[in-house]
Amino acid sequence: MEGCNGCLEEERKALLELKKAFVDEHSNDSLLPSSWNIHDPESDCCSWERVTCNSTTGHVIELSLHHLKLGEAAIVNPSANWSQISLFLSFEQLRILDLSSNRLPDWNATAGYSSFSRLQRLVKLDITNNSFTNSILPSLSALTSLKNLNLRSNRFEGSISEQGMHV
């Protein structure tokens, strides 16, 4: 069986949509890596920084979006808030997602975090050092394939098991 010659177009478009969602309006720069090339339609997203693809299928299987201060875009540009979380749903084979140390605001029901729970292949999620509260817990408990979940340094209150989170 031959290997894949690059990323899938739907996933490449979703990555570029994510990039557009996190533009610092003061500098007009994206907070995501410059290798995520919006101007080159031939650019292979499997070779982009912070993106790992399955070498056979071309599906994105890992996104390492840590320490990018993505939450600052939501503060500076409220229209670029985390309602964009639904863009992660394009990555049907996503197994690892690292959103740590981004100063992300809390997700609430209106911001669409409930769609986040549809990432059913996700085995590792790191949301360390953000501003999440207990409101995200129902969504996380729906991620049945998770084997590794890092929640440190957020604004959770009480016991996680009291919130209906079965770990």
Neighbours of 25 (CB within 10 A): 11
pTM over 0.85: no
pLDDT band at 27 (very low <50, low <70, confident <90, very high): low
Q: Which of 150, 137, 139, 132 is nearest to 116 (CA)?
A: 139
Greatest mean pLDDT among 74-78, 90-94, 112-116 lies in 90-94
Q: Which of 50, 45, 58 is nearest to 99 (CA)?
A: 50
Range of 99's domain?
9-163
Inside any domain, residue 4: no
What is the number of structural domains in the chain? 1
- Beta-strand relationship, 51-53 and 60-64: antiparallel
Inside any domain, residue 3: no
Neighbours of 120 (CB within 10 A): 12
Inside any domain, residue 56: yes
What CATH number corresponds to the domain at position 95?
A: 3.80.10.10
